[in-house]
């Protein structure tokens, strides 16, 4: 269920749009683009791993004009020419060696790559982060649980299917638990893990949470629509039956007070 390595397909554009919504959702809920305390002096370097549509890297480059921001991904954003001078995108497979030397980077950010990485790739990826990071530099990782919390019966069927697909593709369904051990075993210290629950749907009474729930629900709706062909083929459903199942899931979110649980790890490379 990872995005295909094609350049600017219709699928990519739809996913870029969904990632844009998720970016603003997380930025609004976290009240910041980053929680780590990183070096922002002239010449400092920030890496955005799996940059996607590049929005996080773009905003960080605008916010910190003295810092060099590099976005790494297999598929690069479609509008690279209009960014600030301190922003650059590099096409590479982040599961392999990165095109930079040891102890070269001040801050590394990564989010929402749980479904794009096989279980055995996480250890080497964290070691590569450790290699290029300067002593005293920080990493910040954000991943959400693959399953929805407080799911209705139809959502439970979707979650069970995702768990089975993870087994088939080698993706770690329990990644948000596994990363605790991997970050520590890599050698990082001062590991700080925070958990954040974001509603699915407009069921909260709090107006800010209601707005977050609306955006999160729309992002989930876009996710299911973007992968419709995959689900229809795997489940042997008709197009109409799948659309009905999606509608039932969206209704369940409000009925069952469902939510998405995000986890954030901030850790330092020892001095």
The pLDDT tens digits for 89-104 are 999 999 999 999 999 9
Q: What are phi and psi of 153, to 5 degrees?
A: -60, -40
Q: Identify the H or E element spanning 254.
A: helix 239-256
CB 201 within 8 A of CB 253: yes
pLDDT tens track for 12-36 = 788 888 999 999 999 999 999 999 9
* Tokens describing residue 152: 């209705």
Q: Which residues, listed in sequence order, are joined to residue 165 by a DSSP beta bridge?
A: none
Of 203, 187, 70, residue with least CA distance to 127: 187
If one counts every other C-beta atom within 10 angstroms of the C-beta of residue 168, the result is: 9
pLDDT tens track for 163-181 = 999 999 999 999 999 999 9
pLDDT tens track for 35-80 = 999 999 999 999 999 998 899 999 999 999 999 999 999 877 766 5
Q: Which residues, listed in sequence order, are joined to residue 260 by a DSSP beta bridge?
A: 198
CB 199 within 8 A of CB 216: yes
pLDDT tens track for 234-262 = 888 899 999 999 999 999 999 999 999 99
Domains (range + CATH), the chain: 10-268 (3.40.50.150)
pLDDT tens track for 146-157 = 999 999 999 999
Distances, alpha carbon 100 to alpha carbons 29, 91, 96, 132, in Å: 33, 13, 12, 7
pTM of the model: 0.92
Query: If phi over 0 gives left and psi between -120 and 50 gives alpha, with beta otherwise, what is residue 70?
Result: beta
DSSP code for 187 = T
Q: What are phi and psi of 26, to 5 degrees?
A: -70, -40
Name residues whose C-beta falls within 8 Å of residue 94's C-beta, 6 or more positions apart in sequence: 49, 50, 72, 73, 74, 125, 128
Q: How much is the pLDDT for 83? A: 81
């Amino acid at each position: 269920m990872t995005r295909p390595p094609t350049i600017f397909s219709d699928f990519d554009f739809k996913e870029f749009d969904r990632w844009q919504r998720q970016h603003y959702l997380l930025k609004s809920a976290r009240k910041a683009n980053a929680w780590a305390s990183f070096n922002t002096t002239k010449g400092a370097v920030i890496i955005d791993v799996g940059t996607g549509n590049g929005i996080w890297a773009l905003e960080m480059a605008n916010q910190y004009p003295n810092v060099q921001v590099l976005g790494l991904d297999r598929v690069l954003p479609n509008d690279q020419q209009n960014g600030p001078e301190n922003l650059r995108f590099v096409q590479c497979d982040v599961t392999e060696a990165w095109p930079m030397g040891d102890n070269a980077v001040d801050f590394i950010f990564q989010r929402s790559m749980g479904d794009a990485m096989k279980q055995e790739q996480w250890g080497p990826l964290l070691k590569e982060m450790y290699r290029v990071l300067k002593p005293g530099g920080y990493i910040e990782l954000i991943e959400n649980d693959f399953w929805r919390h407080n799911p209705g019966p139809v959502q439970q069927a979707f979650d069970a299917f995702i768990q089975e697909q993870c087994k088939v593709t080698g993706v770690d369904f329990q990644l948000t638990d596994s990363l605790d051990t991997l970050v520590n075993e890599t050698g990082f210290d001062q590991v700080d893990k925070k958990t954040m629950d974001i509603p699915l749907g407009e069921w909260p009474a709090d107006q800010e949470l209601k707005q977050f729930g609306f955006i999160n629900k729309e992002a989930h709706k876009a996710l299911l629509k973007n992968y419709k062909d995959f689900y229809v083929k795997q489940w042997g459903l008709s197009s109409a039956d799948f659309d009905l199942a999606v509608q039932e899931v969206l209704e369940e979110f409000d009925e069952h007070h469902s939510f998405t649980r995000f986890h954030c790890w901030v850790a330092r490379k020892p001095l």
